Amino acid sequence: MNKELDEMLKDKARAGFESVPFARLLGMELVDIFYGEAILKLKMRDELRQPQGVLHGGATASLIDTATAFAVITCLGESEKATTIDLTVHYLRPVSGGEIVCTAKVARRTQDSDRFG
């Protein structure tokens, strides 16, 4: 993919990201995007804490889902669309402050279906 196309893709993705109200509500930021890859971050703030004071798991899952969606979108043709049909999260440890960065990469697109891994 040439640089000009990369910049066109990034501009389109940034514009698309800004049109996602839920991502804005949570405070997600699009850090960078490439073909098959998206990097998003989320800064911890009080509104995203659960009662024990750590980042709510739903905010983490939403960040993962949104980053994945933007990574997949870069692999789609003009008339193709995608949506999440399944999401499993294995939490490794709680987030108590700072920010979390999520890098989503498309590992493969199967030939017999429109599934990405």
- CATH number, domain at 85? 3.10.129.10
Residue 111 lies in a domain: no
C-alpha span between 88 and 93 (Å, rounded): 16
C-alpha span between 103 and 92 (Å, rounded): 16
Report helix, strand or coil for 39. Answer: strand
Domain count, the chain: 1
Of residues 75 and 24, the one with the higher pLDDT is 24
pLDDT, one tens digit per residue, over 79-99 is 888 888 899 999 999 999 999
Query: Mean pLDDT, the chain, as a whole number?
Result: 88
Region 52-69: what's the mean pLDDT?
97
Residue 70 lies in a domain: yes
C-alpha span between 31 and 40 (Å, rounded): 5
Q: Is the dihedral of CA 68, 69, 74, 75 positive or negative?
A: positive
pLDDT, one tens digit per residue, over 97-111 is 999 999 999 988 776
Residue 116 lies in a domain: no
7-11, 61-65, 67-71: least confidently modelled range: 7-11
Res 2 pLDDT > 50:
no
Residue 30 lies in a domain: yes
